[in-house]
Amino acid sequence: MDDEHYNEAYRRSVGTMALVRHSLRKNRVARKVFTSSSAEEFVDEWKREMWKVKGFRVLDMLRQDEVVRNIRRLMGEGRRLAVVCELEMYSDVLSSIAGKSSE
């Protein structure tokens, strides 16, 4: 997602209260003791905590949708792809791509 589209999505998705809640949650989560035994588990725990703020959850989902759309577009052009994405969106992107190609 380019800066212009991200800024527009941010403006539409994140209101003042969501921004305040996100800042408070981030401070709380920074002090939390996580019990994860791997980087993947930690990312999942972090994502669950941070996605409790709806505006940022919506924004992240819009970003994931854009990544999936771009991957599908490039796959449709017959290109071979190596996709690098954030660990926090990896499983969702993978399941979206796998779900689409099995239909």
Measured CA to CA, the distance from residue 3 to residue 6 in angstroms comes to 5
List the chain residues with pLDDT less than 70: 100-103
Note the pLDDT of residue 100: 57
Domain spans in the chain, listed from the N-terminal domain onward: 3-101
| E strand segments, 1-103 | none
pLDDT of 37: 94
How much is the pLDDT for 68?
Answer: 93
pLDDT of residue 101: 46
Query: What pLDDT shows up at residue 102?
Result: 38
Supply φ then ψ for residue 85, to 5 degrees: -140, 170
